[in-house]
Amino acid sequence: MFDNARNDLHTLRDCLRFAVTHFNEAGLFFGHGSDNAWDEAVYLTLHTLHLPLDRLEPFLDARLLPKEKSALLRIYERRVQERIPAAYLTKEAWLGEHRFYVDERVIVPRSFIAELLDEQLSPWIEDPWQVETALDLCTGSGCLAILAALNFPEARVDAIDLSPDALAVARKNVDDYQLQERVRLIESDGMNALGDERYDLIISNPPYVDAASVAALPPEYLKEPELALGSGEDGLDFTRRILAEAKARLNPGGILVVEIGHNREVLEAAYPQLPFTWLDTAAGDQYVFMLRQEEL
């Protein structure tokens, strides 16, 4: 199918139309940077041709060289036949304006905490320069730890993950952002390896998919590390660990920020005594909670 199309596609517009048709026909699942076939096709096309990702119109009717058509058809074919998320095909993911290297060793970054960090957690943190220590639990690719370091200029950031493979990816990203002096990568099961460290800020985008949802995941999500997705029957096993351990790890006045997906009702029912503050994100106020050290 894909090889046979080579002689009939001439322009970038032709290739985009072809890709969208076959993405929709294959019933692909989107959610790793785009949410529809058109946006995914545009991203994969511009990236593969080394064109600016924010500028499509000038190139739509440009005729493609044979090797360019071959490269596009190859990446379209892999997306359809192997159901590989686009981020793994291009080895990059974006959080706002920030680019990160990713591969199959880490979950594709898509945390709502990223936008909160870019706002320096205002108004909950009054002076970003006063944040001197921060911890990112379940750091994966290291993206949130890096954003914390960029947005809290005086902070030393510890980034923890159980997976040495994930930490290898995080190391590449920390090096790319030249933050080796401020972001420390630690292999640890939860906070076990931290000694007596305490922090002004703890952030975490932990595994939070419940068992029923894990069983129903589309093929694209099954390409991600299983360790980074499921967290027990109700999705809150790791979040319970965080809530049990965070108070002793926070400095007075310190705050805990955790993303929990669609588990707000379950969490509030399990901890009716905790005064969760639900933070506004682009998707609403259901997905990220905050607690101060004194509230834990």
DSSP secondary structure letters along 211-244: HHHHHT--HHHHTS-GGGTB-SSSS-HHHHHHHH
| Amino acid letter, residue 21 | T
198-226 pLDDT, tens digit each: 999 999 999 877 778 777 888 999 998 88
Beta strands 277-278; 288-292: pairing state: antiparallel
Q: Evaluate whether 177 touches 144 at the Cβ level (below 8 Å).
A: no
3-90 CATH = 1.10.8
Give the integer Cα–Cα distance in Å for 92 and 85.
Answer: 11
Q: Evaluate if residue 128 carries a pLDDT over 80.
A: yes
Of 199, 200, 204, 82, which is closest to residue 143 (Cα–Cα)?
204
What is the pLDDT at residue 29? 93
What is the pLDDT at residue 230? 72
Q: How many CB atoms lie within 10 A of CB 292?
A: 16
What is the pLDDT at residue 156? 98
Mean pLDDT of the chain: 93
Backbone φ and ψ for 59, nearest 5 degrees, come out as: -105, -5
What is the pLDDT at residue 215? 78
- Local structure of residue 254 (DSSP, 8 states): E
Give the integer Cα–Cα distance in Å for 79 and 65.
Answer: 21
Q: Which residue has the higher pLDDT, 235 or 169?
A: 169
Sheet strand arrangement including 133-137:
183-187, 156-161, 133-137, 199-204, 250-259, 288-292, 277-278
Q: Evaluate if residue 4 carries a pLDDT over 80.
A: no
Backbone φ and ψ for 251, nearest 5 degrees, come out as: -75, 160
Query: How many percent of the chain have pLDDT more than 90?
Result: 81
Give the integer Cα–Cα distance in Å for 231 and 234.
Answer: 7
Encoded tokens for 93: 């993911």
Residue range(s) occupied by CATH 3.40.50.150 in the chain:
93-295
SS3 291: strand
Cβ contacts of 19-24, under 8 Å, gap ≥ 24: 19/44, 19/45, 19/72, 19/76, 22/76, 22/80, 23/76, 23/79, 23/80
What is the pLDDT at residue 161? 96
Q: Which residue has the higher pLDDT, 256 or 110?
A: 256
Average pLDDT score over residue span 91-120: 95
89 membership: H or E segment, kind and range: helix 86-90
Q: Evaluate if residue 232 carries a pLDDT over 80.
A: no
Average pLDDT score over residue span 259-272: 92
Question: Lowest-confidence range among 151-155, 170-174, 264-268?
Answer: 264-268
DSSP per-residue letters across 12-75: HHHHHHHHHHHHHHTT----SS-SSHHHHHHHHHHHHTT--TT--GGGTTPBPPHHHHHHHHHH
Average pLDDT score over residue span 63-69: 95
CATH number among 3.40.50.150, 1.10.8.50, 3.20.20.150, 3.30.2320.80, domain 93-295? 3.40.50.150
Average pLDDT score over residue span 235-252: 94
What is the pLDDT at residue 1? 66
pLDDT band at 57 (very low <50, low <70, confident <90, very high): very high
Count of all residues that appear for the chain in the document: 296
Give the integer Cα–Cα distance in Å for 12 and 17.
Answer: 9
Q: Evaluate whether 287 touches 261 at the Cβ level (below 8 Å).
A: yes
Residue range(s) occupied by CATH 1.10.8 in the chain:
3-90
